[in-house]
Structure 1
Amino acid sequence: MKDELRARVERRLGVDASAAHEIDEGWDSVVFELAGSWIVRVPRREDVREWLRREARLLPELASLLPVPVPRFEVLEDSDVFFVAYRKLPGEPPGPAPGATLARRLGELLRSLHGFPRDRALELGVESFDAGSWLERERAFAERCRREVAPLLDADERRRAEEMHGKFFATWDRALETALIHGDLGPAHVLRQSRQLTGVIDWSDACVGDPALDLAWALHGTPMKFAAALRKSYPVDEAQFERAGYYHRLGPWHEVLFGLERGRPALVESGLAGVRKRLPE
């Protein structure tokens, strides 16, 4: 933690920040833990500041609605030195074999989240898409993948990728109802203690969009028993299940693009490995 940031954190939180421990070299923010009880997030780019301001407006309302804890920003330092700070939530990421109890609780959380009033989300400044504008967003992302990622794949992999994109767009439901979503719900942002869900963190990607995006990891990146248990508390139709599978396959494509944009070849390589692993046969 740089000296100026450390001094500002100490002044706002009243704790010694000299032993701040960097726990996440995230794509959008650097995350520090202080004194075992505070989390400090520092944006990497100017645009991330607005994401955190929006998150600060949204979280208090989610805290009163959701059946699972979310962070409560106690400090939003919005000046030349920008950071947010909140009390650390208990728990650890779920690991490779999360249980059915966790799945059911996550389904309950998603049911509540996706029922959040759309009009209120708009009042809070959350980015909003309807079915048509979400489809255009996905088309733009697929086109970027064709330009920047597909040339790094072999001919058969490119063919399978095209078929994957084509199936998604051919079956898109133009009457889809969008909802408030987390937008980046994966194991890094889910906390548990024993079998209990103790928190969901990092809401900076929240928007009004396709609810199936929040099901991508939960249905397609977890054991079958977990996915089946989640569907008991969050009913999923076949179309949602298929869209969630598409979004899950896209995860590593984001990693490749970020690695290319930031000049981080290790991310490009790990992302390409994930792309190849998740391509449909």
Structure 2
Amino acid sequence: MNAEQRQQTQEMHPAQQPVDEDLVRRLVAGQFPRWAGPAVRRFPSGGTVNAMYRLGDDLVVRLPLIAGGAADVLMEREWLPRLAPRLPVAVPEVLGAGEPAEGYPWPWSVYRWLPDGNPDAGTLSDPALLAGDLAGFVAAMRSVTVPGAPTAHRGGPVGGLDAETRAAIEELRGIPEEGVDCDAVTAVWEDALRAPAWDGPPVWLHADLMPGNLLVDGGRLTGVIDFGCAGAGDPACDLFPAWNLLPSDARAAFREALDVDEAAWRRGRGRTLSQALIALPYYRRTNPAMARTARHVIRAALGEG
């Protein structure tokens, strides 16, 4: 077991629910006996709220690790069937709605397994094509007119993130080995706070377009997963890939394809940076993938000037 794998076995959250292969087998056998035969194996991922277990070759079981993830399970059950026909790439399909049992306290779900892998910011084969695919997905989400959308996580005014972002910056001042220029990130954050607020109607958002939630094949976007944060809000919330994944040229193409104005771009950069600043001190010892993405975002946001 290498150092990164050892980190992935550590608990990420206080009061994290213990989950293992034996529990998943018992849950599946008790509630979905037709799926009791296939092998169960933990699927390593950079996710922070859920554990994922492959169930044979065609299914995956997803279980919240913390209480806050339970609402996401119910949200996906309600909204994914409505959103899926309106989106240009594959999204998760809920095949089984699991309920608390065997000492496990929250709802959980069985999904159809979506193949392909997550993109890596340093090894994109054709960033411009991926930028176009991502812009197409974001535009499709914004065009959804299904009424009754919940409020997207992080979908409100940028100022609502101020206290937590500044607290994270101060925490990073005390971690000099991370090498974060805290004065520079503060300046970028304050620029986002000064940007004009979104004054249009809220639009549908995925609201968590992290590399770990994107699926690619041959450099092209094939799927988007984890809709637990989805809902309506400021369209700048779905600009995250500009800084967490795309190099500068593709970032510009992404912006052009979505016709993003200066105010939204500043808010988007600030929102993406805020998430990274909060994530880095929290996950730096327990979730290598999240920590790597956070460091990449900080460099990209500062490098844009």
Query: Could you state the TM-score of these two structures normalised by the residue count of structure 1?
Result: 0.81
Map 1:202-213 to 2 at 5 A.
202-213=226-237
State the one-letter code of the partner of 1:59. L
Change (3 A) 1:161 1:60: same
- Measured in 2, the distance between the counterparts of 1:272 and 1:198 equals 24
- Measured in 2, the distance between the counterparts of 1:238 and 1:197 equals 26
Q: Select the residue among 13, 26, 45 that pairs with 1:7.
A: 26
Q: Select the residue among 126, 133, 137 that pairs with 1:109.
A: 137
Q: Does 1:62 align with 2:83?
A: yes
Q: SS at the partner of 2:45?
A: strand
Change (3 A) 1:218 1:36: farther
Change (3 A) 1:135 1:176: farther
Deviation at 1:151, TM superposition (A): 3.9
- Measured in 1, the distance between the counterparts of 2:99 and 2:136 equals 34
Q: Does 1:277 align with 2:299?
A: yes
Give the equivalent residue in structure 2 for 1:214.
238
Deviation at 1:65, TM superposition (A): 0.9
Contact 1:10 1:17 in 2 (8 A): no
Q: Does 1:152 align with 2:175?
A: yes
Contact 1:157 1:276 in 2 (8 A): no
Q: Does 1:178 align with 2:207?
A: no
What is the CA RMSD across the aligned residues, in angstroms? 3.3
Deviation at 1:274, TM superposition (A): 5.2
Change (3 A) 1:156 1:71: closer
Change (3 A) 1:212 1:21: same
Contact 1:253 1:271 in 2 (8 A): no
Deviation at 1:75, TM superposition (A): 1.0
Give the equivalent residue in structure 2 for 1:120.
148
Q: SS at the partner of 1:20?
A: strand
Contact 2:47 2:212 in 1 (8 A): no
Contact 1:66 1:113 in 2 (8 A): yes
Q: SS at the partner of 2:232?
A: strand
Structure with greater helix percent: 1
How many residue pairs get aligned? The number is 274
Query: Once the two structures are aligned, what percentage of the paired residues are identical?
Result: 22
- Measured in 1, the distance between the counterparts of 2:171 and 2:253 equals 38
Q: Does 1:28 align with 2:56?
A: no
Deviation at 1:84, TM superposition (A): 1.0
Query: Could you state the TM-score of these two structures normalised by the residue count of structure 2?
Result: 0.76
Contact 1:252 1:271 in 2 (8 A): yes
Contact 1:150 1:158 in 2 (8 A): yes
Deviation at 1:214, TM superposition (A): 1.4
Deviation at 1:70, TM superposition (A): 0.6
- Measured in 2, the distance between the counterparts of 1:101 and 1:77 equals 38
Give the equivalent residue in structure 1 for 2:6.
none
Give the equivalent residue in structure 2 for 1:138.
161
State the one-letter code of the partner of 1:3. D
Give the equivalent residue in structure 1 for 2:93.
72
Q: Does 1:97 align with 2:120?
A: no
Give the equivalent residue in structure 2 for 1:87.
112
Q: SS at the partner of 1:197?
A: strand
